[in-house]
Amino acid sequence: DAGVTQSPTHLIKTRGQQVTLRCSPKSGHDTVSWYQQALGQGPQFIFQYYEEEERQRGNFPDRFSGHQFPNYSSELNVNALLLGDSALYLCASSPYGTGAYEQYFGPGTRLTVT
């Protein structure tokens, strides 16, 4: 049984560019959350998608947007990249009905903005 998968593993972008990160949830899971983990910090909640809608959003600017597809996979898009967007981006999936209390994390995408 495959766990949560994310692509790409690493990414280097230039300030001002746009980036798309991808996540496939664990089999049987229909909810996807995205977190940003800056170096030396705990993960910060960006948003959660359920039934292809953004269900909850953290304190992140509109430059951060997302999408969920009918197969429950998800994308995180970041526009107009800033140096401060350099971080590990983690995707977590949850099975139906469990909300936040059963989140399984993927290995993350390491984004470096130069």
Binding residues vs other proteins (CB under 8 A): 4, 31, 33, 35, 40-45, 48, 55-56, 58, 90, 92, 99-108
Q: What are phi and psi of 83, to 5 degrees?
A: -55, -35
**CB nearer to other proteins: pick between 25 and 106:** 106
**CB nearer to other proteins: pick between 15 and 52:** 52
**CB nearer to other proteins: pick between 25 and 108:** 108
Smallest gap, in angstroms, from Cβ of residue 99 to other proteins? 5
Smallest gap, in angstroms, from Cβ of residue 50 to other proteins? 8
